[in-house]
Chains A and B, each alone.
Chain A
Amino acid sequence: MRHIISILLENEAGALSRVAGLFSARGYNIASLTVAPTEDPSLSRMTLVTSGSEAVVDQIRKQLNKLVDVVKLVDLTDNERIEREMLLIKVCAEGDERDEIKRLSDIFRGRIIDVTDRAYTIELTGDGRKLDAFIAVLQSRRILEVVRSGVIGIARGGSACVPDAP
């Protein structure tokens, strides 16, 4: 089953490689992984999407928690949550296609952020399935490049994945 795990990590050189190294050393899957500093510059937020049986995911959580650089870990899969991913897609847009691609982009609430006389670059945000659907729609056209950010997520409601009070 797919799990989305939110991790607060010490913002130190090598912390990312500890997480990545753990996954390769123990043979776990990583579907996507994003990481950036938080409002506290000493902490990074990592959002990791993985999959496996419940036993495997249980081990993944425990092994991640065991890393000394991991400050806090929450499996968002257990909660009502919001997931977002950003897509930047560059697609060939010539002749009649230009209007059609513009309309498709509007339907998906995408934004055209760069234009040449032969191509559009479109920005689209949503959950993974929405991005998949948009790419599928454009599949029949000539897609020049696809860039996806990887999934980020946050729990709904008042609970927050922040460091425990000291």
Chain B
Amino acid sequence: MARGPPTGPTWVSHGCGPRIAALNAIGCACIPVHPLARAPKALKPGPLGWPATVRATWRYTGAIAVIVTQGLDRWRSLSENQGFEKGHKSRGDIALELTGAEIFVRCLHDEGVEYLFGYPGGAVLHIYDALYKQEEVKHILVRHEQGAAHAADGYARSTGKPGVVLVTSGPGATNALTGIATAYMDSIPLVVFTGQVMTHLIGDDAFQEVDAIGITRPCVKHNFMVKDVRDLALIMRKAFHVATTGRPGPVVVDIPKDITAHKTSYTFPQDPTLRSYKPVREGDPMAIRKAADLLVQAKRPMVYAGGGVVLGNAAPELTELVRWLGAPCTNTLMGLGGFPATDPLFVGMLGMHGTYEANMSMHECDVLLAVGARFDDRVTGDLDKFCPNARIIHIDIDPASIQKNVPVEIAIISEAGLAMRDLLAALKATGARLDKAALDAWWRKINEWRARQCLQYDRANTEVIKPQFVLETLYRLTQGDAFITSDVGQHQMWAAQFYKFDKPRRWINSGGLGTMGFGLPAAIGVQLAHPDATVACVTGEASIQMCIQELSTCKQYDLPLKIVNLNNRYMGMVRQWQEFFYQSRYSHSYLEALPDFVKLAESYGHAGLRIDKPHDVEAALKEALGQRDRLVFLDFITDQTENVYPMIAAGAGHHEMHLATDRELA
């Protein structure tokens, strides 16, 4: 990975010869005294006693200070080398005196952190200095802190491991906030470290001070401020524990600058538990037995599975359970890939832009099994018309999700995978199967709804590129095996509808918060985690411009993303709502001064292609996918007036869908 420029002042970790030479050449007057350097009286002897230069110059001041500084460097490098020995693999079994900054880096390493996404600034400079002197934790320099949070988020969603972010105080923290809120809404495990001004300046409106704990509070699972360097390691350990267990979520750790300079002994804390935080793992066996008894009697069963299945790595358990039941299965936007999209039991995504068959099955089912889904308003529509005939079983790890929006008959508070494993065992233990004749009749009905082909569009068009066609072609060419990140809007819905995800963690999008600008930086995190995989960012000309600066990050780290820009010169989803609900008054949804995306990509050092005819779509995608070692920006000029169908208007019921063919209520 690229490091800083080879010329700047370097910190030599194995001795201080070159630095002394450089200092002598500069002369005393402009010696940069290292910010961590303290007055000699504050020094403590290292494990080898006082460094010789410190001893020799103890009584002198003034011009000799430079030698003291050099001595400090030597002494520090001696003590540091114990903390950062190459190939250090032990997890905190030796107590060491380290600075907060060094403890920070050691803790990340001991926590198993591979990548740290960040952007330096005043309050985190000690940490950046410690990062410079090691190679275990790789730092990825983004171009905007929002990009750091989204990139860590993409890393987390595609791997299941926590994403880690480091930003400075003030604007660093506020810029990261959108990314933190995005992760919060989708329950993504992030640990975000924000620098803070020195402890004695907190509350004084100091330069780059912001109350990071206060502003992040409503959009984190928890946050901590470090007030003593002796607490740093344990707080970091707790932060990772809280972020990754139970219902995952982002955790912010605010670290004042002086804490990163203070020293203490370091051991990796073994026990991260908190007395006030005990996430549930397994569900109540009685509730599971009741659920099995209810499910096995179902005549028109339906399984509705959400992002919790993906987050809980429960796709195999879901697949096995659904196949045993023989029931139709739908996924939410966040749950796509949780059940194989090419399985005949899959009826597509549900909700506002879900399939006709998925929504009608929800409306008509008699027993609904909801797993890792939170009955979001984009899924349920009008709550009074939601699943009017169904008795509902709800599996969720978060007790607060139960009965929040929809009353349910049986609640199982558990990890999704464990609950479904136990539920399947309980079903088998009943010795019964679902009524075959009833199930056949149910599927006949579903297949009638399927026959409406709600996702059809004008495939024959040879004049103008239909966005759906681009995504269908992308799906075909990548054999459904790419990682797809997306921004927010029409392109997101089309990608969800037309790219059939058979595996979890392949579909990376901002579902809850709906953050435009998410797709490109998220793809950075995905590609770093999966260097050999095809990673495509499906976006639009409005969304991509919200974090376009990250094209520069892609260049720095040679990330061969494929950017599929569906360019219709409109904020498409805004335009669609304005057409439907505001009598086509397109208020500020038209983008009049777009950049030339091909030239823009090229100026960042990437390849760009503009495609404006349907017959060029396949060749362009093939060309881009064939470029294994470079980023290709594909600018597809698409139909300006295409709308996303089917659609349930906000506040309508599942049975009140608009289909593209008739634009009437179904």
Contact = CB atoms under 8 A, between A and B. Distances in A.
Contacts of B407: 55
A10 B217 contact: no
Contact of A21 (B218, B221, B222, B399): B218
Contact of B276 (A21, A59, A69): A69
Contact of A71 (B221, B225, B275, B398): B275
A59 B218 contact: no
B322 interface: no
B213 interface: yes
Contacts of A25: 218
Query: Size band of the B side of the interface?
Result: 20 to 34
A59 B213 contact: no
Contacts of A63: 400
A37 interface: no
A68 B221 contact: yes
Contact of B275 (A65, A66, A166): A166
Contacts of B398: 66
Contacts of B24: none
B214 to A, nearest CB: 7
Interface string B116-156: 00000000000000000000000000000000000000000
A5 B402 CA distance: 20
Contacts of A68: 221-222, 242, 274, 276-277
B34 interface: no
Interface in A1-31: 10, 13-14, 17-18, 21, 25
A163 interface: yes
Interface in B208-253: 213-214, 217-218, 221-223, 225, 242
Interface in A104-148: none
A74 interface: no
Given A21-B218, A68-B221, A70-B276, A59 B242 contact: no
Nearest to A70: B276
Contacts of A69: 222, 276
Contacts of B453: none
Contacts of B277: 68
B222 A62 contact: no
A58 interface: yes
Contacts of A21: 217-218
A18 B400 contact: no
Contacts of B82: none
Contact of A18 (B217, B275, B403): B217
Contacts of B402: 62
Contact of B217 (A14, A55, A62, A166): A14
Contact of B403 (A14, A58, A70, A71): A58
- Which of A10, A63, A68, A70 is the most central at the interface, judged by chain B CB atoms within 10 Å of its CB? A68
B288 to A, nearest CB: 21
A62 B399 contact: yes
A62 B221 CA distance: 14
Nearest to B218: A25
Contacts of A70: 276
A58 B277 CA distance: 19
B402 to A, nearest CB: 8
B400 A17 contact: no
A70 B277 CA distance: 8
A96 to B, nearest CB: 53
Interface in B276-292: 276-277
B403 to A, nearest CB: 6
A57 to B, nearest CB: 12
B55 interface: no
Contacts of B444: none
A146 to B, nearest CB: 31
Contacts, number: 40
Interface string B402-427: 11100100000000000000000000
A67 B398 CA distance: 12
A63 B214 CA distance: 18
Given A21-B218, A68-B276, A70-B276, A14 B400 contact: no
A17 B217 CA distance: 9
Given A25-B218, A68-B221, A68-B222, A55 B403 contact: yes
A17 B223 CA distance: 12
Interface in A45-101: 55, 58-59, 62-63, 65-66, 68-71
Nearest to B251: A68
Interface string B77-118: 000000000000000000000000000000000000000000
A62 B276 contact: no
Nearest to B399: A62
B479 to A, nearest CB: 41
A19 to B, nearest CB: 11
Interface string B158-175: 000000000000000000
B218 to A, nearest CB: 5
A71 to B, nearest CB: 4
Contacts of B221: 68
A62 B274 contact: no
Nearest to B213: A14
Contacts of A10: 276
B276 A71 contact: yes
Contacts of B400: 59, 62-63, 65-66
B404 A59 contact: yes
A163 to B, nearest CB: 6
A48 to B, nearest CB: 17
Given A14-B217, A21-B217, A65 B222 contact: no
Interface in B388-407: 398-400, 402-404, 407
A58 B399 CA distance: 10
Contacts of B223: 14
B398 to A, nearest CB: 7
A65 B399 contact: yes
A80 B276 CA distance: 26
A70 B278 CA distance: 11
Interface in B170-222: 213-214, 217-218, 221-222
Nearest to B277: A68
A55 B402 CA distance: 11
Contacts of A55: 403, 407
Contacts of B404: 59
A70 B275 CA distance: 9
A79 B218 CA distance: 32
13 contacts: A13-B225, A14-B217, A14-B223, A21-B217, A55-B403, A59-B400, A59-B404, A62-B402, A66-B398, A68-B222, A68-B276, A71-B275, A71-B276
Given A14-B213, A14-B225, A66-B398, 20 more contacts: A10-B276, A14-B217, A14-B223, A21-B217, A58-B403, A59-B404, A62-B399, A62-B400, A62-B402, A65-B399, A65-B400, A66-B399, A68-B221, A68-B242, A68-B274, A68-B277, A70-B276, A71-B275, A163-B275, A166-B275
Interface of A: 10, 13-14, 17-18, 21, 25, 55, 58-59, 62-63, 65-66, 68-71, 163, 166
Can you list the 3 inter-chain pairs with the closest CB atoms, starting with the nearest?
A62-B400, A68-B222, A71-B276
